[in-house]
Amino acid sequence: MVGCYIHVPFCARRCGYCDFNTAVLGSAGLTPNGWLAGLRAEIALVAPREKLGTVFFGGGTPTLLGGPILAAAMDMIRGELGLASASEVTIEANPETVTAPLLDALLAAGFTRLSLGMQSADPAVLAVLDRAHTPGQVTWCVDAARRAGFTDISLDLIYGTPGETLTSWQHTLETALACAPTHISCYALIVEPGTPLAGRIDRGELAAPDDDLQADEYLLADDLLTAAGLGWYELSNWAAPGHECRHNLGYWHSADWLGFGPGAHSHVGLQRWWNHRSPRRWAAALQRGESPVEGREILDDAMIHEERVLLQLRLATGLEVSELMRTERERLPGFMADALLITHTNSVVLTRQGRLLADKVVRDLLS
């Protein structure tokens, strides 16, 4: 089944750690209505193939668009591309943008899954991250979303923020779990070059994230989330049974997906393509009746193989041994002796220690 990613390139303000393709609303060179018109034109360029099994509105801050524009976008997707029955439709939301009427509007528009950017329950950590919400707003949002009728609610957390301690992170995890979400993502903070956060670290105003602390934080998250009934199913993701993100599972299983919006990537069969990153260029191309695609590539056997190993090893279901080449299979006993991989029926799966060193395991396996 095919997935669909819709990129919304607007935020109310920029967080100092983020280098996603998003700009402050009002200075993005594109208005929300201009974005909607671009989306309409871009969808019209696509010949419908099969109905969409999953849709994911990501950003940026999709909830900044408000109910009417989001409902209009969903109508287009439903009408022009088609939604399969029981499809999963996710929207990312910043807690400070969520209201009870917006939640009702999202459900009426067909969204089935809410992914809230909680990040931390520690006001000092939220301040370092430049977040605009308070911890209390997250608790309110989850309660309100459940009352409104959402049964799939996910929280995004970040660990390793300068100044964060293991105690603060434990408090964040416990606060998140007390909200009883069905899914939690925990991301290690990445200091992206060129961001204001990187500048503050370079100038010595903030300490760089500590690898050992981040490893301890990962293990604590795995302990607490698992004990609370959220099983890990991908390196950074834990879910109650049956509440895994089907859209992201599609990416990790190299399924087909169509991306719309500035900078969105698509993958169908052996082809991959990506749009102009600049909202202005994306919209201008569509206004001229042209494709907003900036580049394309055909995946060769080596690329497909590397990607499958890289993505499937991240999953709790692991990688089928038969996917590996002979030389790679010969390396497996070494990883098992180091307790980084275990076999599970016909697959290899990362151990907890292996999950901490996943990038290195993949590199060494493919080298």
Ligand X SMILES: C[S@@+](CC[C@H](N)C(=O)[O-])C[C@H]1O[C@@H](n2cnc3c(N)ncnc32)[C@H](O)[C@@H]1O
Judged by CB under 6 A, does residue 36 bind ligand X?
Answer: no
Q: Smallest distance, Å, CB 231 to ligand SF4?
A: 26
**How many Å apart are CA 304 and CA 266, to the nearest integer?**
15
Binding letters toward ligand SF4, positions 52-71, x by CB under 6 A: -------xxx----------
Tell me the backbone φ, ψ of residue 346, rounded to 5 degrees.
-100, 15
Q: Is 94 in the site for ligand SF4 (CB under 6 A)?
A: yes
* Candidate residues 18, 190, 215, 220; the one interacting with ligand SF4 per rule CB under 6 A: 18
Binding residue (CB under 6 A) for ligand SF4 from 4, 6, 8, 15: 15
Q: How far is the CB of 136 from ligand X (least distance, A)?
A: 17
Residues 6+ apart with CB under 8 A from 107: 148, 149, 150
158 binds ligand X (CB under 6 A): yes
Per CB under 6 A, 172 contacts ligand X? no
Across 144-264, where does the E strand assignment appear? Answer: 152-159, 183-188, 231-234, 237-239, 257-260
Pick the binder of ligand X from 90, 112, 119, 248 (CB under 6 A): 119
Give the residue, chosen from 3, 4, 6, 22, that forms a contact with ligand SF4 under the rule CB under 6 A: 22
Which residue among 3, 21, 30, 61 contacts ligand X (CB under 6 A)? 61
Decide whether 99 or 317 has the Cβ nearer to ligand SF4: 99
Q: 126 near 119, Cβ under 8 Å?
A: yes
d(CA 282, CA 265): 13
For 251-278, give the DSSP string.
HHTT--EEEESTT-EEEETTEEEEE-SS
What would the DSSP string read from start to end of 188-204? E----TTSHHHHHHHTT
Window contacting ligand SF4 (CB under 6 A); options: 17-25, 38-46, 147-155, 249-257: 17-25
Contact 125, 162 (CB under 8 A): no
What are residue 157's DSSP bridge partners? 119, 186
Residue numbers 176-195 binding ligand X by CB under 6 A: 187, 189-190, 192
Pick 17 or 257: Cβ nearer ligand X = 17
Shortest reach from residue 50's CB to ligand X, in Å: 28
- Which x/- pattern, by CB under 6 A, does the window 80-99 give for ligand X? ------------x-x-----
Q: How far apart are CA 363 and CA 228, in angstroms?
A: 33
Shortest Cβ 122–ligand SF4 spacing (Å): 17
Distance separating alpha carbons of residues 322 and 334, to the nearest angstrom = 18
Residue 273 β-bridge partners:
266, 296
Q: Does the footprint of ligand X cover residue 249 (CB under 6 A)?
A: no
Angle at 343 (CA atoms; ends 269, 328), nearest 5 degrees: 60
Cα–Cα distance, 245 to 107 (Å, whole number): 18
Interacting residue ranges for ligand X, rule: CB under 6 A: 17-18, 20, 58-59, 61, 92, 94, 117, 119, 156, 158, 187, 189-190, 192
Q: Which residues are near ligand SF4 by CB under 6 A? A: 11, 14-15, 18, 20, 22, 59-61, 94, 117
